[in-house]
Amino acid sequence: MQKRIVVSGGTKGIGKAIVELFAQKGYEVITCSRSIERLEALKADIEKRVYAAKIIIFKADLSVKKEAIDFGQFIVGLGGTIDVLVNNTGLFIPGQIQNEEDGVLEQMISTNLYSAYHLTRVLLPSFIVQNKGDIFTICSTASFVPYTNGGSYCISKFALYGMNKVLREEMKPYGIRVVSVLPGATLTSSWEGVDLPSERFMKPEDVAESIWSAHQLSKNTVVEEILLRPQLGDL
């Protein structure tokens, strides 16, 4: 039976790199985005280039609780097992607690924390019944290193990291591996307009490869955290 991976926010950056890599490895990929146009373009591109690739798409804004739950229920409704879940949906708005616009904290929490919380909760019964599977959550170095222009982003990523650590403890008895992925500056749309050479950033593909490597370990072993930084250090 073909293995399956679920990737939230799979049309750009790290999510797209994960979708591409696992499709190349023969996995059926289920992914979502707020943009149906980007989803359709992703599906057409990968299924054209990658032999026998199967990309299942679903339009959803996971910062909205109902849409996160709808996406999860859509996945459950497909039947079959879920081998990998990657909670990747995220948003970065620079600013400081003292002066960022009103509502930024709520937006960051809804997008970076609640999206993963609600989607994971819908899928956990399936993971528990099958007694196996890997859950990767894309946190950040901002999950444990505060910086002055991080504001609500840091707050949301600290919370996401905490959620994933709790989930790791809860899922131990069920054979489900829970991994916190903590990438530093990665060349994605979040850094558009920054006057720095591309060599100063990590590649999204490297983050995807680290997830693939952790997934390949025997079920006796879990990499609880994957910490990645640019070779020259944080920005």
Picking from 9, 99, 17, 1, the residue whose alpha carbon sits closest to that of residue 62 is 9
Report the pLDDT value the prediction gives residue 135, as an integer from 0 to 100: 98
Picking from 46, 52, 1, 2, the residue whose alpha carbon sits closest to that of residue 20 is 46
**Average pLDDT of span 179-206:** 84
Mark residue 92 as left, alpha or beta (left: phi above 0; alpha: psi -120 to 50; beta: remaining): beta
pLDDT tier, 198 (very low <50, low <70, confident <90, very high otherwise): confident
**Average pLDDT of span 53-67:** 98
For residue 79, is it within any domain? yes
Helix (H), strand (E) counts: the chain: 7, 7
Report the pLDDT value the prediction gives residue 190, as an integer from 0 to 100: 66
Please list, in sequence order, all residues whose beta carbon lies within 8 angstroms of the beta carbon of residue 229, skipping any fewer than 6 positions away. Answer: 141, 183, 184, 185, 202
Please list, in sequence order, all residues whose beta carbon lies within 8 angstroms of the beta carbon of residue 77, skipping any fewer than 6 positions away. Answer: none
Domain that holds residue 22: 4-228
Report the pLDDT value the prediction gives residue 137, as an integer from 0 to 100: 98
Report the pLDDT value the prediction gives residue 195, as an integer from 0 to 100: 72
For residue 70, is it within any domain? yes
pLDDT tier, 235 (very low <50, low <70, confident <90, very high otherwise): confident
For residue 234, is it within any domain? no
Whole-prediction pTM value?
Answer: 0.95
* Per-residue exposure over 155-188, b if at least 16 CB sit within 10 Å of its own CB, e if not: bbbbbbbebbbebbeebeeeebbbbbbbbbbbbb
Looking from the CA of 1 toward its CB, the CA atoms found within 13 Å total 7
For residue 173, is it within any domain? yes
**Average pLDDT of span 162-169:** 98
- Minimum mean pLDDT range among 66-70, 92-96, 181-185, 191-195: 191-195
**Average pLDDT of span 211-225:** 98
Please list, in sequence order, all residues whose beta carbon lies within 8 angstroms of the beta carbon of residue 142, skipping any fewer than 6 positions away. Answer: 150, 153, 154, 157, 158
Report the pLDDT value the prediction gives residue 186, as an integer from 0 to 100: 86
**Average pLDDT of span 103-123:** 98
- pLDDT at 152 > cutoff 70: yes
Number of domains into which the chain is organized: 1
d(C-alpha 100, C-alpha 62), whole Å:
23
Give the domain CATH number at 197. Answer: 3.40.50.720
DSSP state string for 5-35: EEESS-SSHHHHHHHHHHHHTT-EEEEEES-
For residue 28, is it within any domain? yes
Q: Kindly report the CA angle at 231 between 192 and 203, in degrees rounded to 5? A: 45
Helices (H), the chain: 13-24, 36-49, 65-77, 104-108, 115-130, 151-171, 204-215
For residue 169, is it within any domain? yes
- pLDDT at 193 > cutoff 70: no
Mean pLDDT in the chain?
95
- pLDDT at 120 > cutoff 90: yes
Report the pLDDT value the prediction gives residue 191, as an integer from 0 to 100: 66
Q: What tens digit of pLDDT does each residue of 67-78 get? A: 999 999 999 999
CA 13 to chain centre: 10
